[in-house]
A and B are shown apart, each in its own frame.
Chain A
């Protein structure tokens, strides 16, 4: 049985460990120094919980955390709180994303408490894309907090057990705090300092935007190491397969903040099977970045290609034989169903008859 499993109830938080701020698996894996793998769940446009379970099942046994996105790209989907509620029910380790675009500080702090109560152990604080990027550009952008003040808010709630207003919490939300980084957007020389700022605000792990430009990422990491930041937080590199050169071009011009160099597009274009090449490219990038000092894991964003995550993780060999947690039917469930079956097999008593017998022949 895995180390990172609650002995009796698989949905329950693990035992607290010294030096850990959450009671989840992801933090344990990272703090043990193992190479962590997280993946992003494509949120369903439906109210059916089974959709979430099905989409999480493809990651089973391959990832240490599942990102529940908060209307990424400003497109409307099932909410991250909802997805997290479903995932924790099944024992998965969700990373709840909170974007500042849609909620003000009142709603956000309430959600943090609610999520933590449901067993969410990891929270990722994001600014969020502008509403113009999504399917409802007429929406009112909120941006009451920004990712930095959001980090600080949640950290205050956790470490000082109080709201932003100073009102006390009786039980603080014990969460592992994350943030996002994008080393591939200007102003490039400010980016490492921005990571430093995020760490100062409370970030304990960061996930990066898609990395397609490894040399650029190397430069960034060199700066990060100079500042000593890789020792203060865990850095997970964002990777993902590109379906084709055409998609790559579309992403480059339509999705804010994703940098895809021409050489990548050229490589995809030159391939016979572009989809396969995209996957291979992703594996190659993983193999390159995992060697960079200060990288603690990868974050696989395989939008609409989630079924490839397992292959990509397997073929890149980053887990080195380690088996992340897998959803197995609860051992106690098995006992209960066995017992029920036994009862069903047993002799049936006719209650009425027994009562009659008891009434007419008491002895």
Chain B
């Protein structure tokens, strides 16, 4: 009986993952359901990959969008930035979540990473790929996912300001998680504008 019930070793497909992650999971170590190294399928990444392929379009669009947001600065100010925070965050989370699988770190650097959200990297690297990228360009940790940084490099090559990928990024400020970076960027730009206007006359 064992011959029929147990799969023959010769017919085994090569194990996916480092040292057989699934095998290790079977030892009892806790593996959360939807981040299992072996279970994710390509389909889940398709929109994200579309965004990276169209990074130039999105870059152009975001520049317009940021301008519009800045024009609305008096409105935000009238209502109060803290009061618009919740609804804007709600929208931002859904829109960016769909396009980029955004993780709402609250300090968006998509423009510097070829429109590939670095928080999707299992190591959350913000400064480039780790040394473990597989030869096929997939992630070391999640063998089925194209490495976020391989894609980021491709995306950045299409962008006008793609060389921003060469800047060293500061570590994530964890206290800004789940806040709107659209509003923060707008508020900062408005403050800068005000400062320069104040200095001009």
| A194 touching B128 in the complex, CB below 8 Å, given contacts A137-B29, A138-B31, A186-B147 | yes
Most buried by A among B134, B153, B169, B171: B171
Contact B18 A149 (CB under 8 A): no
Contact in complex: B125, A143 (CB < 8 Å): yes
Tell whether, in the assembled complex, residue B25 and residue A149 are in contact, meaning their CB atoms are under 8 Å apart: no
- The proximity string for B residues 117-137 relative to A, scoring 1 for CB distances below 8 Å and 0 otherwise, is 000001111111111111101
Tell me if B29 and A256 are in contact (CB < 8 A).
no
- Do A130 and B123 touch (CB < 8 A)? yes
- The answer to whether B140 and A130 have CB atoms under 8 Å apart is yes
Question: Interface residues of A toward B: which range?
Answer: 35 or more
Distance between Cα atoms of A133 and B20 in the complex (Å):
9
Task: Please measure, in the bound complex, the distance between the C-alpha atom of A255 and the C-alpha atom of B126, giving whole angstroms.
Answer: 23
A253 touches B131 (CB 8 A): no
Q: Verify if A44 is at the interface (C-beta below 8 Å from B).
A: no
Selected from A138, A145, A180, A189, the residue in CB contact (under 8 A) with B131 is A180
Inter-chain contact A141/B123, CB cutoff 8 Å: yes
CA distance A181 to B131 in the complex (A): 7
Q: Are B131 and A149 in contact (CB-based, < 8 A)? A: no
Per the bound structure, the CA–CA distance linking A85 and B75 in Å amounts to 59
Contact of B106 with A by CB under 8 A: no
- B140/A149 in contact, CB under 8 A: no
- Tell me the complex Cα distance, A139–B123, Å: 13
Are B24 and A137 closer than 8 Å at their CB atoms?
Answer: yes
Q: Which residue of chain A is the closest to B132 with respect to CB atoms? A: A256
Cβ A186 vs Cβ B128 within 8 A: no
For B129, the chain A residues whose CB sits under 8 A away are: 185-187, 190, 194
- Write out the residue numbers on chain B whose beta carbons fall within 8 Å of the beta carbon of A100: 123
Range for the number of chain B residues in contact with chain A: 35 or more
B11 at the interface (CB under 8 A from A): no
Q: Which residues of B contact A146 (CB under 8 A)?
A: 123-127, 171
Interface SS of B by simple majority: loop
A129, A149, A164, A182: which contacts B169 (Cβ < 8 A)?
Answer: A149
Task: Give chain A's interface secondary structure class.
Answer: loop
Q: How far is the CA of A100 from the CA of B137 in the complex (A)?
A: 22
Find out whether the CB atom of A187 lies under 8 angstroms from the CB atom of B24: no
Contact A133 B126, beta carbon cutoff 8 Å: no
A132–B21 CB distance below 8 A: yes
* A148 and B169 contact, Cβ closer than 8 Å, known pairs A129-B140, A138-B31, A259-B135: yes
Q: How far is the CA of A342 from the CA of B172 in the complex (A)?
A: 64
Given contacts A132-B17, A257-B132, contact A144 B171 (CB under 8 A): yes
B178 at interface by CB-CB < 8 Å: no
Residues of A within 8 A of B100 (CB): none
Within 8 Å CB of B154, what residues of A? 187
- Determine if A149 and B170 form an interchain contact, defined as CB atoms under 8 angstroms apart: yes
Partner of B168 from the list A127, A133, A180, A200 (CB cut-off 8 Å) is A200
- B68 → chain A closest CB, angstroms: 32
Q: Is B71 among interface residues, defined by CB-CB distance under 8 A? A: no
Q: Which residues of B contact A145 (CB under 8 A)?
A: 171
| B172 contacts across to A, CB distance below 8 A | 144
Is A283 engaged at the interface, CB distance under 8 Å to the other chain? no
Kindly supply a per-residue 1/0 record for chain B positions 15-33, scoring 1 wherever the CB is within 8 Å of any chain A CB and 0 otherwise: 0011101001100011100
Does any Cβ of B come within 8 Å of A136's Cβ?
A: yes
Determine the chain A residues whose CB is within 8 A of the CB of B128 once the complex forms.
Answer: 148, 190, 194, 197
State how many angstroms separate the Cβ of B164 from the closest Cβ of chain A: 12
Q: Is A147 an interface residue (CB 8 A)?
A: yes
Which residue of the partner chain, among B24, B25, B123, contacts A127 with CB atoms under 8 Å? B123
Cα–Cα distance between A181 and B133 once the two chains are bound (Å): 12
| A190 CB contacts on chain B under 8 angstroms | 128-129, 149, 153
The answer for the CA separation of A274 and B137 in the assembled complex, in Å, is: 31
Q: Which one of A136, A141, A180, A194 has the highest number of Cβ atoms from chain B below 10 Å of its Cβ? A: A194
B127 touching A148, Cβ below 8 Å: yes
Q: Known contacts A164-B171, A194-B128; is A186 also within 8 Å of B30 by CB?
A: no
Starting from the known contacts A133-B19, A185-B135, 10 additional A-B residue pairs (CB-CB under 8 Å) come to A130-B122, A136-B29, A143-B124, A146-B124, A149-B169, A149-B171, A185-B129, A185-B133, A187-B137, A190-B149
A-B contact pairs, 10 of them (CB 8 A): A127-B131, A132-B18, A132-B21, A143-B123, A146-B125, A146-B127, A185-B135, A186-B133, A187-B154, A257-B131
